[in-house]
Structure 1
C-alpha cells in the first residue's frame, strides 16, 4: 500500500509516538506576525465557542521507525503543513516554560510537554527537526528555552523563528493572566484537529500536494512549482534507479534554492515568473503570471526528466541573482519596480558577457531606470512591454523583428537600454523636482536617500576618498526619517528666522546623515548644526555645507538646490 487512510486527529494524537523532520529541499520557516496572529485568534475563538476547530491537512512521507527507550516512533518527513506545525510546537514550548513556575497541576503538564518536545535525557532527539537551522535557533529553543540575540540572526528564517518565540510567549502570558494556562493546554491538544496523510511512495507525495493545494489555499508558487517538477519525474520514469539518481540531484538543487531564499525574503512567485518569462521564446508584452509560468514550465519539461533538472537549476540561478538584488539596499530606489529587476536579471544571467561588459550595462541600466522611475516619478505601469521584451532579447541574444530572429550585438544592447529613457530628457524632468516638497507631499524618501548616496559617491571620487562601507550600511539599515536631515529644521527653535513651509522639504534643504548626527543636530541653530556636522567628518556633503555657507536662508537653499540639480543633470543625463 502506498499511503495510509487519512486520519482525523487531535494535536495530542498527531504528536504522540511520532518524530517529524523537514527535509532541506522544503521551504524554511516563513510565517510572519500576521499568520501567527491568525493562529492565536483561532485558538481564542475555540475558547469562546467551546467547539473543535479544523486546523490543517498534514502530508507526510514515511521514512522509518525509531526505538527510544521502551517506545517506538514513526519518523515522518513533512511535505505539506510544516509552517503551522512548527508554529504550534513553538507555542507548546512557550506554554511549557510558563507552566514550570505554576502550581502542581501545571508543573505536571510541563513535565509531560518536556517529554513530548525532547525525547531523550541527553536531549539529542527533538519532536521536530527543522531544515537549514545551521545556527540551531529552533533546536536550542526547544531544548533549553534559549533565544538568540538579534545580532546572531543571519537569515530571514532565523528572524522569523525568533519573532515566533517572542510572540508566542506574549500570547501565552496574556492567556494565563486571563483564563489560566491549563485551559490553553487543553484547547491546543484536544480541540485542534488535523487530517494526517502518511505516504510511503515519494512519487504520490507530489500528486497529493498538488490536489490539496489546487483549492485556492495560500501556498507559495515556488512550492507548487517544486511539487510539479518532482512529480513529473515520477510520472514519466519507470526505472527505479533512474528515479532515485534524479531525485538525489533534484533534492540537492531544491535544498540550495530554499537555502538561498532563506537568506532574505524573496517571493517565490517572482522567481518562477522571471525564470519562465526569460525562457519563453514568444515576444511578451509583460511578465508571465505565476499560473502562466507553471503552465509554461509543465509544457517546457514535457516528459523529459533532464529538463526538470535543467529548469530546477535555472530556478536556482534566478534565485541567487534575485538574492543579490535584494541584499543590495543601495539600489532600493531603483529596483522597486518589477520589470526593472527583470532587466537587471537578464543582464546578470548572460554568461557570455565579461564582468567589465556587465558593469558598463549595469551603469546604463541604473541611470536610465532611476531617471524614469525615480526622478520622473513613473510607476509600475510605465514601460512594462519595453523592459520585458528587452530583457528577453538580452537573455536569448537575439531580437525578434517582424517575426524574424536577428542577432543582438552588445553595442546594440547598450543603445536599446539607453533608448528606454529617450522620452525622459534629464534636463526637463529634473526641473520637476525644483521648488517641490519632496519629503512629504511627493513621498520621495527612498529616492532622496539614493540621490544623496550617489552625490556622496561623486564627491568621494572627486576627492579620491574611499567612504567606509560600514557607515553606509549603518545609514541604510536605519529608518529614512533618521537619515534624511533637514538643514532648516522641521520644528525650528527660536534661533531660526521663519521660512515659508514649502521650503522645508525641498531638495536644497535636505542632506543625508547618520542617525546620531540627525539626533544631535535636530532643531539647533545653523551654527550649532555645523558643529554637529563637523563631527561626521566622513560625509563630504556635510563638509561642503560647513565650508561654503555662513548662514542658512532662502537664498542659500536655492543656491544649493541649483548646484544639486546641475550635478544630477550630469549624473543621470
Structure 2
C-alpha cells in the first residue's frame, strides 16, 4: 500500500484504461448528490480520504496496440494502468472536471478566447485539460489522447469522448445501459456548477476544483498478479455500488479464459473468445439501455436467459446466479479434467503445430482412438453461452417495446403489447425464445402469443389462480422450445389443457361453459369491501380491449393506455355512471323501485363502469346522466369535463341511451359479457348465469328464478 495521493498526483504521467472485464459507469443521482455535498462541505484546508484505488500495470504486448496512447508512453514516459477498483470515482472526477471546463468556456468574457488564455485561478484551461482529460500530439495534432478512458471497443468510450468530452464529428454513437449514467452525471454537474457559479462566483468554482484535485486523497495500490486482478474486481467493487450479477458473470467468464492451458486453448483462440464475450455484453447493454425512458433491469434479463438456456429449478431467490457462478462457470470446472476419445487423425490435427508428427503414420493408425484430457467446461460451451445471450438481448428488448417496432410484424406487435398490458407474468422467457427457435414463423408466434393472453385472462384475471400456477412447466417449455423438444402446437395444447378446470359441461349437454364461480366469489368480496367490479384487477384491461375493438372497426383511438392506467390523486379514468353518492333527484327517481341494499350492486356492476378518454375530478361523477352526456363548463366558461357524446367510443355508446336506469345497466353488462365470450372464446350457460355474475340476478322475473331452481 502506498502513501495517500491526490488526484493531481495520481494523474501525473499516468494513463488510465477501464479494462474489458469491468462494468460501465454505474453511479446514479443518489451517489452524485452524495459526492457533490461532500465536496461542497469539505473545508478548503482539510483532506478527505476517498478510498482505495487499485491499479494493474498494462503489459507492453497490450499497450503496444494502443495507437493513440503509445506516443505518451514511449516518448514521454507515461505509465499505462488498468483500473481494477475505483473506476466509478475516477469517472466521476473526470466528468466533473470536464463540466468545470465547460463552465469556464461559457463565461461571457471567455467567449472568443483560446484555452491557453482562459484561467481558473492560476490554472489555464489548456493545462487543466492536458493534466486530467486530453492531450493532442504535436506537431500535427492529429492524434488525440485521453488520459482516462475505456478499452477502445467499448461503446462507453466513444460516448465519453463525443458526448461528455465533446470531441467533434462523432458519427453514430451507440447508447447503452451505462451511457445513460454518463449522460446523467454530465447533466447533474453542469446544472449544479451553473447554479453554484451564479450564487458564489468564479472564485468558489476554483475552490471546488482545488478540493477535487488536491484535497481528495486515495490509497493507490498496484496489483501484480492476473489472478488477483479478477478476484479483486469481484470483492472490491462490492464495497461501493454493488455489482449486478450480469456484471459479475462477465468478469468471471473473462477470467476463465485465462485459465485454459495452451494445449486446450491457443492464444489466438483465447483472444477470440474474449472478444466474443465483450461483443455479447456490448450488445446486451445496448439493448437494455436502448429505451432511455424505460431502461431494462440487467438481472431480470439474466434470470430469463437462465430459464431459456439451462434446466429450470423451483428453488427460490438467487438459485440462478448460484448455478452460474458456483456450479457452471467456475475455475474448478476448468481444472477438473474429463477423458475425451479422439481419433488419431483428430489428435494430429490438434497437435500438428506443436508436435513433429508423421502424416503417414497418422493415416496408418487413423482408426485408432486416443484418449485425451479436457476441461469439464470447454471453451466452446462458454462461446455458445455468450452467443446465446447476445442473440436473446434484442428479442428481450422487443418484448418490452413492441409499439412501432420495425423488427416485429403488426400482429406480433399487437399481441405482445396486449401481453404487456394484461401483465405478462412468467411468460416473457417463452415469448423471447419463440424468436430464437428454428422453424417458428410469425404466424406460429402470433398463435402462441394469443394463446398465452387467453390463458392469462381466463386463468388469472377471471378464475383467480395463484400467480405461480404452472410457472415451472412453462419456464421449462421455454427451454424445450429452444432445444426443439416442443413445438408451438404442443405448448398451445398445454395452455388449453391447463384451463380445463375453468370450464364445465352440464349433464345431458354437449356444450362446455365457463365456470364463473371462482370469479363470482372474488367479486363478491369486492362488493363487501364497497367496490365490486371497480376493484377487479382485470377491469382496465377488459374495458380497454372493448374500446379497442370499436377503434378497429371505426378508427380514431381516443384512450391512451398510459394515461388510462396512471393513478392521479382525486381523479378517475373509469367512471361509475350511476354514482356511488347519487344525490341528484334524477338518480333517486330512476332507482326508486329497488331496495337500498340493492343499489351498491348497480353502482359496482360491470355495466355501470365506463372508461373515459380523459380523467376527471372524482367530484364530477355525481352529476345526473344528462349532464354527464354533455360537456360541463365553469363560471369562466372553461371546460371542466368532457361529455360522453364526444368522448371515447364506449362513452359515445353510453351517450346513445336516453336514460340510465337498472334496465340499461343490465343491458350494457350483458353486452360486455357477450364481448368477453367472443373475445376470449368462452361461453356462459344462459342469461341467468350472466345476471348472477353481474350480481343483478335479483332483477330477473320470478319464473326465471324458479326454472333455475
Question: Is TM more than 0.5 here?
Answer: yes
Cα shift readout 1:537-569 (whole Å, capped 9, x = no counterpart): xx64344344x3345677656654553344234
Aligned partners of 1:93 and 1:117 also within 8 Å: yes
Q: Residue 35 in 1 paired to residue 25 in 2?
A: no
User: Would you say 1:526 and 2:629 are equivalent positions?
Assistant: yes
Q: Which residue of 1 aligns with 2:286?
A: 259
Find the structure with the greater CA-based Rg.
Answer: 2
Q: Equivalents in 1 of 2:312, 2:420: separation in Å?
A: 30
Alignment match of 1:185 (pick from 204, 209, 212): 209
Q: Which residue of 1 aligns with 2:398?
A: 324
**Paired position in structure 1 for 2:547:** 456
Summarize deviations over 1:311-347 as a string: whole Å, max 9, x none: 111122332232122224734344463x332333344
Q: Provide the secondary structure at the position in 2 that maps to 1:237.
A: coil
User: Deviation of residue 225 (structure 1)?
Assistant: 0.8
Structure 1 residues 79, 255: closer, same or farther in 2, change over 3 A? Answer: farther
Q: Which protein has the bigger helix share? A: 1
For structure 1, the residue ranges without an aligned partner over 5 or more in a row are 146-151, 399-407
Post-superposition Cα deviations, 1:333-388, rounded to whole Å, max 9, x if no partner, equal 44463x33233334443323333222211111122124444456666555443443
* SS of structure 1 residue aligned to 2:305: helix
TM-score normalised to the size of structure 2?
0.62
Question: Is residue 541 from structure 1 mapped to residue 650 from structure 2 by the alignment?
Answer: yes
Quote the Cα distance in structure 2 between the aligned partners of 1:418 and 1:6: 68
- How many Å apart are 1:221 and its aligned residue? 0.8
Question: Take 1:448 and 1:41, find their aligned partners in 2: how far apart are those partners?
Answer: 47
The answer to whether 1:476 aligns with 2:562 is yes
Matched pairs, number: 541
Is residue 56–residue 193 contact of structure 1 (8 Å, CA) maintained in 2? no
Q: Distance in 1 between matches of 2:463 and 2:618?
A: 31
| Whole-angstrom CA distance in 1 between matches of 2:78 and 2:533 | 60
Deviation at 1:218, TM superposition (A): 0.5
Tell me which of 554, 568, 572 is aligned to 2:676.
568
Q: How does 1:161-180 map to 2 (within 5 A)?
A: 161-172=182-193, 177=199, 180=204
Gaps of 5+ in 2: 110-117, 335-375, 404-416, 504-513, 589-598, 621-626, 633-640, 683-709
- Give the TM-score normalised by structure 1: 0.74
- Larger RCO (CA under 8 A, 6+ residues apart): 1
Match of 1:148 in 2: none
Which residue is 2:573 aligned to?
A: 485
1:246-303 deviation per Cα after TM superposition (whole angstroms, max 9, x unaligned): 3233333332222222314332323333333333347646683322332343168844
Secondary structure of the structure 2 residue equivalent to 1:549: coil
Segment drifting more, 258-267 vs 191-200: 191-200
**Aligned mates of 1:159, 1:441 — CA distance in 2:** 39
CA separation of 1:283 and 1:170: change in aligned 2, threshold 3 A: closer
How far apart in 2 are the matches of 1:35 and 1:321?
A: 32
Counterpart position of 2:326: 295
Equivalents in 1 of 2:519, 2:222: separation in Å? 62
1:480 partner SS: coil
**Residue aligned with 1:259, SS:** helix
Secondary structure of 1:53's partner?
strand
Match of 1:511 among 611, 614, 621: 611
Structure 2 residue aligned with 1:274: 304
Work out whether residues 66 and 75 of structure 1, in 8 Å CA contact, stay in contact via their aligned partners in 2: no
- The farther-off stretch of 487-496 and 63-72 is 487-496
Q: CA deviation at 1:135?
A: 8.8
Tell me, yes or no, if the aligned pair for 2:306 and 2:320 is still in contact at 8 Å: no
RMSD: 5.0
The one of 385, 390, 414 aligned to 2:492:
414
